[in-house]
Amino acid sequence: MGCDCHVYVETKLPNGNWATFPPTNVPCEWCNGTGKSGNGTACFSCNGSKVTNDPQGWYHSRNYNVFAILADVRNNYGFTPIAMPRGIPEDTAIIETHDLPYDERTYVSFGDHSFSWLLLQEILDYDWDQPVAKHGMVSVAEYKEWATKGKPNSWSGGVGGGGVRIIDAETMGEFIKTGQVTSDPRVHYYAEVHWEDTCRASCAPFLQRMELLRERAAKEGFKPSDVRLVFGFDS
């Protein structure tokens, strides 16, 4: 089962209280502000408007690398988290509404585990350029991508099913050279490969959203140390 993160943002007022800071006409994360989905139809999230006012609109993608760094959730590659889950702050201005009739524009829920919070400044100060060792199961096509570029475009934690044959990376290379990988269309070869990445590359879309948040908050007079992400996870 997949895991999702529910992120809400608030800002610290001059009197010391926190106030919600929902996105207002922020470029839609799902379509990157284009208003269109991959097949050219209207984006399912913003309905083609190109912007979002959803309470979770600052960040709502499923990226386990991000989850691992934020709170050690789904940490399959040994990322160093910014902090272990801290719980929901007692002085938060964000109120859950999951007991009310569902309305995607106002629905607020932190999920069901690993509740935490981070200042935007803590996120910006993290060493995003540190290396991280990764591994995954790849198809023939992705093996070729890994062999030529140093890392695959996509991979899986594991594969199985009828016709799947798992071999080591060296054997995959030999099978490709001899044409064995295409000799029987009923057999699908996969191999586990290893490569090195950076936290920044692994979390690039998230960092773009955090830079957007920093810019919008600055326009309202808030420093990164006065911006707080409050979040939790489900499944």
Answer with the residue of higher pLDDT: 99 or 25.
25
Do the domain assignments include residue 86?
A: yes
Are the CB atoms for 163 and 186 separated by under 8 Å?
A: yes
Instruction: Please indicate, yes or no, whether residues 62 and 102 belong to a single structural domain of this protein.
Output: yes
Residue 202 · residue 98 · CB < 8 Å: no
Whether pLDDT at 207 is above 90: yes
Predicted model pTM: 0.86
Give tens-digit pLDDT for 107-150: 788 989 999 999 999 999 999 999 999 999 999 999 999 999 99
Residues 7, 56 contacting (CB under 8 angstroms): yes
Do 8 and 86 have their domain in common? yes
Is 139 within the bounds of a domain? yes
**What is the spatial distance between Cα 189 and Cα 166, in angstroms, rounded to a whole number?**
6
Q: Do 234 and 113 meet the contact criterion of CB atoms below 8 Å apart?
A: yes
Q: Which pLDDT score, from 0 to 100, does residue 132 have?
A: 93
Higher pLDDT, 12 or 28: 12
- What share of the chain in percent tops pLDDT 70? 96
Please tell me the total count of domains within the chain. 2
Confidence at residue 101, expressed as pLDDT on a 0 to 100 scale: 67
- Residues 82 and 67: their CA atoms lie apart, in Å, by 10
- pLDDT band of residue 12 (cuts 50, 70, 90) is very high
Per-residue tokens: 88: 């929901």
Q: Which domain holds residue 92?
A: 4-23+58-128+203-234
The helix (H) or strand (E) run that includes residue 143 is helix 140-149
Q: For the segment 60-102, what is each residue's pLDDT rounded down to a tens digit?
A: 899 999 999 999 999 989 999 999 999 999 999 998 886 666 5
Contact partners, residue 27, CB within 8 Å, separation at least 6 = 33, 50, 51, 52, 212
Helix (H), strand (E) at residue 208 = helix 204-219
Same domain, 80 and 8: yes
Checking phi first, is residue 201 left (phi over 0); if not, alpha (psi -120 to 50) or beta? alpha
Mean pLDDT of the chain: 92
Q: In what order do the strands lie in the sheet with 18-20?
A: 18-20, 4-12, 227-234, 113-119
Q: Is residue 165 part of a domain?
A: yes
pLDDT of amino acid 102: 58
Q: What is the pLDDT of residues 138-183, one digit of tens each?
A: 999 999 999 999 999 999 988 988 899 999 999 999 999 998 888 7
